[in-house]
Amino acid sequence: MWRFAARYCRFGVRSERTMSSVPVAVVTGSNKGIGFAIVRALCKQFPGDVYLTARDPGRGQEAVAKLQEEGLRALFHQLDIDDLQSIRALRDFLKEKYGGLNVLVNNAGIAFKVHDSTPFAVQAEVTLKTNFFGTRNVCTELLPLVKPYGRVVNVSSMVSSSALRGCSQELQQKFRSDTITEEELVELMNKFVEDTKKSVHEKEGWPNTAYGVSKIGVTVLSRIQARMLNEKRKGDHILLNACCPGWVRTDMAGPQATKSPDEGAETPVYLALLPSDADGPHGEFLSNKTVRTW
């Protein structure tokens, strides 16, 4: 599995040619919870370098050490998806060291607790900043680096489906459209935040869940990105999907949830490791390894 990584050129520096041939996978927000479980599974099954990323280098290195104790080799790179400079530093690193990337799992996300007293408008702005806009920035910077036969997984949530059903018919139509553009989606996500600030979001047809709307954004963004890949890189056989990991016992969902983090990682890992001869799923929303109607 690691045969490429051991080759060095004469002066002890890995040669560009050799490094570019090592497959590489990146998982965002992966020092704990579902992200950590995804990294663990990829370390066991992916034939190349697996990068665990986190905002805090200390926590990231701790997580890598924990996997090391299990006999698994993950590598660490700092990444804060709220920080464009941090995203671009990772982009440049991957470009330079590997000439691109093979697997990207966008897992990083946040959620306020149900009984959190933070004003809803603040919750909306903060949640969308990370879950939608942060994820979109990672995609903008890293998707062009994805190599032929690459796999991209955007971790969304079934809450995006229930939140979609809670939207007005007009909004549902827009979010289900096969022709919606990324610009139009961004406009709608910004409108939600603005509407919450004016306390008119329900009147304007939005559901009362900032997390749900942020994940509508992730699912629809995935559908748009898959369409763009079809138009611009059809021959590259890249597969991109959104998925719901399920209700998983994490700091975010709490101890009552029905799935373990390893069980929650199953669908994202399945999509990250789709075989090279697979022509789908692509541009779909899945849970329990099954395509769901959007």
Could you read off the pLDDT of 184-207 as tens digits, one per residue? 999 999 999 999 999 999 999 999
Active site residue 8: no
Q: Is the dihedral of CA 143, 219, 228, 279 positive or negative?
A: positive
Q: What is the reported pLDDT for 16? A: 44
Evaluated on CA atoms 52, 160, 220, 294, the torsion sign reads positive
Q: Kindly report the backbone phi and psi dihedral angles of residue 290, in degrees, each rounded to the nearest multiple of 5, phi listed first.
A: -125, 135
Residue 129 CA to residue 81 CA, distance in Å, equals 9
Confidence band for 83, pLDDT divided at 50, 70 and 90: very high
Phi and psi at 51, nearest 5°, equal -105, 120
Angle formed by the axes of helices 182-197 and 169-176, nearest 10°:
150
Answer whether residue 14 shows pLDDT above 60: no
Question: Residue 51 above 70 pLDDT?
Answer: yes
- What is the mean pLDDT of the segment spanning 158-182? 96
DSSP assignment, residue 144? Answer: G
**Run of H or E including 287:** strand 285-287
* CB-based contact 240:222 (threshold 8 Å): yes
Environment class of 82 (CB within 10 Å of its CB; exposed 0-12, middle 13-18, buried 19+): middle
Catalytic, out of 8, 98, 211, 270: 211
Task: Give the predicted TM-score (pTM) of the model.
Answer: 0.91
| Residues across the chain | 294
Given pLDDT bands bounded at 50, 70 and 90, which one contains residue 126?
Answer: very high
209 residue type, one letter: T
Cis peptide before 207 (omega within 30 of 0): no
Which amino acid belongs to residue 273?
L
pLDDT in tens, 237-261: 999 999 997 655 555 555 665 678 7
